Amino acid sequence: MVVVAVACIAIGTRTVASLADARPAISEALHAVSIPSAVGDLSLGDPSNGIDARTAVDRTVAANEPITGMARDLEATIGRYRAVASVYAQKKLPCSQLRQSYGEVDDGWTRYSIARGRTYGGEVPAHLVSWDAALYEAVRDVDRDFTASGCNRP
């Protein structure tokens, strides 16, 4: 819900005043939700989440690398899915919202995979192999999580 609210503010579909009116409902819904920090819980160093432990600064990827932006977008989409899944696990969101978030990860992976194939063919450059593998594992983890949720696929 927070992600949707922030996105709505960013694109201007909801006014800040309308969000202020919703503040009690938002805080109540998110009361027991821990939102991971970029350094802490998101656990870039936690092997169970499948995201590469190196920070963007540590990656040997140039900003002009063709798929860098798409890979970072996919990482962010996976993070958003995890936040939604956390709220869903507390029975505070319906399957439809988890399904939508899952669909965004699936669409992001498809776009990334197509761009990677068009750019590099069958061979990902050596400096991108670990990042690519980590993204693949993270997407697989999202898929396993969504399957375990019991929600119908999009």
Domain boundaries, the chain: 1-31, 34-149
How is residue 43 annotated by DSSP?
-
Comparing CA positions, the residue from 70, 68, 80, 133 lying closest to residue 104 is: 80
* pLDDT given for residue 106 in this prediction: 97
Distance of alpha carbon 73 from alpha carbon 58, whole angstroms = 18
* pLDDT given for residue 66 in this prediction: 75
- Range ranked top by mean pLDDT from 14-23, 33-42, 66-75, 142-151: 142-151
Contacts 24+ apart (CB under 8 A), 90-97: 90/32, 90/33, 92/29, 92/33, 93/1, 95/149, 95/150, 95/151, 95/152
* pLDDT given for residue 36 in this prediction: 44
Each residue of 94-146: pLDDT tens digit? Answer: 999 999 999 999 999 999 999 999 999 888 888 889 999 999 999 999 999 99
Higher pLDDT, 2 or 78: 78
The reported pTM is 0.62
pLDDT > 70: what percent of the chain? 58
Report the alpha-carbon angle 7-13-16, nearest 5. Answer: 80
Q: String of b and e for 129-148 (b: at least 16 CB within 10 Å)?
A: eebbebbebbbebbeebbee
Residue 115, classified by CB atoms within 10 Å of its CB into exposed (0-12), middle (13-18) or buried (19+), is middle
Each residue of 60-81: pLDDT tens digit? Answer: 555 667 788 899 999 999 999 9
Distance of alpha carbon 86 from alpha carbon 32, whole angstroms = 10
| Mean pLDDT along residues 82-86 | 97
- Range ranked top by mean pLDDT from 13-17, 28-32, 121-125, 138-142: 138-142
Contact assessment for residue 12 and residue 36, using Cβ atoms and an 8 Å cutoff: no
- Work out the angle between the directed axes of helices 95-120 and 129-149 (0-180°, nearest 10): 160
